[in-house]
A and B are shown apart, each in its own frame.
Chain A
Amino acid sequence: MYDFAYHKPSSVADAVKMLAADPDAKAISGGHTLLPALKHRLNRPTALVDLSGIAEMRGISRAGNAIRIGALTRHVEVETSAEVASAIPTLAYLAKHIGDTQVRNRGTIGGSVSNNDPAADYPAAVLGLGATLHTSKRRIAADEFFLGMFTTALEADEILVAVEFPIPEKAGYAKMRNPASRYVMTGAFVSKGPMGVRVAVNGAGPCVFRQSAMEAALSANWSPEAVAGIRQSADGLNSDIHGSAEYRAHLVTVMAKRAVAAAG
């Protein structure tokens, strides 16, 4: 790890100021992605702006037909929240299956969504439910947020403050884990509700994406059989020592089918 300065602001405004003042500073939340990168000397920020003292970024609340989750909310809090369990149980299920206990006790939804790791879980829920991202300067629709591998619409001095999930009628999530890292090899998050029928695929490609052929099929007939025959093209999907693009393409169909079955 290289040396860095450490700041701990207590408001979003202060944090933004610190990030704006130093283009090489970086926000840190749970640190479960950033700290390993620092330890491996893969990242050399001049300063870390620790967001964990910002009260307005915490908490889970229900507002009308949506669940709002503060960016600093840890995976374990989503997993065990009564609000989440009653409104979007699939989201609690997803949180419960991220990493291991230590990871869930530290990692945050804001860190996960901002990082946009292609193999992360939360981006599938954000896109698959059509959530709205509340940042320090604006609201961004999920469809406009995830731009590419480890890339989002967030600007350098913009902080993700909360994620607002519309409550769906039905939702389901299924994934196959990478046997080594246990991150997502391929996953599918499906939902039906105020944002229409949505199928978001994570793990398989360089960035989470919507599977429109499956969305159309499910709009006509919400059933596992409706997606079972739809093939995902392997073009542009990830290929590595753990599986070919073709294998991942195949898993997209399998996981979508399972996600629909889980949604009921």
Chain B
Amino acid sequence: MSARETILAGIMANQPLSQDLPIIDVSAVIQYDSNLSQFKTVLESIGGKAIDISGWFELQNMVQDDLAAGKRVVNAIAEIASIDPALASLEATELATVQRAYLKGGIAVAENGSIWLDETAMVNRLLPFIAEHLVIVIEAKNIVATMHHAYQQVSSFDTGFGMFLAGPSKTADIEQSLVIGAHGARSLLVCIIP
């Protein structure tokens, strides 16, 4: 018997009688007076920063400032500038020096300050991890209360990769002292469009 058959046969012989799945009643979970303010509060508590912006032009200005300061920035937001067609296939060695990446997030979650980014939004899977700093724009109307609400909208995984990103990378592996900027981004700025 192959390993697969052995394992599956062992499981078949040993699994208990089937028990139904529970019904997840989303109306029974926490609600916030304002998803927007809850999102901001939590994001700050996990090391991120939130600002309100009035339109895409503000992001264009930020990119211009970065470029003027000689920074290597990568833009993955079609609304502010065209996206470099080569970005999707850049390798780690080519992305290693990216100082700031601009990305557009999807659903955001008030209870934990996270933002859903799928592969379309990242353009290159490595980009949101390897960039030294991240700027992510979200729309206020896309902030939902909890993860249950979020999965009602992101349950399809057609793009091959996606993630909830919550704040900058961090570690507390040395004596439980929190250090921001472990292997991923050192900072996360979330720009919220009304």
Report if A and B associate in a common complex: no
Chain B residues packing against A (C-beta within 8 Å): none
Chain A residues packing against B (C-beta within 8 Å): none
